[in-house]
Structure 1
Amino acid sequence: MLWGCFAAGRTGALHKIDGFMRRDNYVDILKQHLKTSVRKLKLGHKWVFQMDNDPKHTFKVVAKWLKDNKVKVLEWPSQSPDLNPIEYLWAELKKRVRARRPTNLTQLHQLCQGEWAKIHPT
């Protein structure tokens, strides 16, 4: 499983998750990668974080961390995954990695990282 982010200009962090992502993992990922990605993407102070209503995204501990860290979150309509633009990036990443035919998990992760960074903004 992977967590990734992007902005209009390019992709941000891509983080491998060992096992299943749960609410505590999600907060740790946000702590480690969200603000770093905001800096890398050169978003400044006027950015809005978008995530869907997956249960791990809406737990109180996640909402508290977002509020405590002054992260403005885009309100999201329930049960509307097709509106999430990152789904198109996941599809593109899968297509690119599948074409490279990784043979083990280490190679899969390396290919994901490399191909993620190469995805063009268009």
Structure 2
Amino acid sequence: MRKNNYVDILKQHLKTSVRKLKLGHKGVFQMDNDPKHTSKVVDNKVKVLEWPSQSPDLNSIENLWAELKTIVRARRPTNLTQLHQFCQEEWAKIHPTYCGKLVERYMKRLTQVKQFKDNATKY
């Protein structure tokens, strides 16, 4: 994804999401330090959560994406059509309890990250 694509997505969906979630002006937008996210082009007058560079990603959805990627890669798609199909099929198989377990493990991950301070963890 290029920064212009990212900016277009924000322009199309961010304000709508804030309105639907009834966040008003108290919402804070979280993004990682990917250069396209931090580009000066990305300026929606939105309060952004400060995020240290090279910080561990504690967002549970990232663990879910990694799991999906591993499963789909094992099926060895040979073209974009297969990739799309396999992603949809495998996504549908992910049980809600798996997602719940990812969320439950959040505190353990957070505790380990805090304990190790600036040093590497398995997360």
* TM range, smaller chain: 0.5 to 0.7
Larger proportion of strand = 1
How much is the aligned-residue C-alpha RMSD, in angstroms?
A: 2.9
Q: Please tell me whether residue 87 in structure 1 is matched to residue 67 in structure 2.
A: no
Q: 2:51 corresponds to which residue? A: 76
- Is the contact between residue 26 and residue 57 of structure 1 (CA under 8 Å) also seen in structure 2? yes
Larger proportion of helix = 2
Unpaired segments ≥5 residues, structure 1: 1-20
| CA distance 1:92–1:34, shift in 2 (3 Å) | farther
Structure of higher RCO (CA pairs closer than 8 Å, 6+ residues apart): 1
Identity of aligned residues (%): 76
Larger radius of gyration: 2
Amino acid at match of 2:5: N
Question: TM-score, normalising length from structure 1?
Answer: 0.56
2:34 to 47, 54, 61: 54
Matched positions, count: 93
| CA distance 1:113–1:48, shift in 2 (3 Å) | farther
| Alpha-carbon distance in structure 2 between the residues aligned to 1:118 and 1:49 | 30
Question: TM-score, normalising length from structure 2?
Answer: 0.56
Shift of 1:35: 5.3
Q: Please tell me whether residue 28 in structure 1 is matched to residue 8 in structure 2.
A: yes
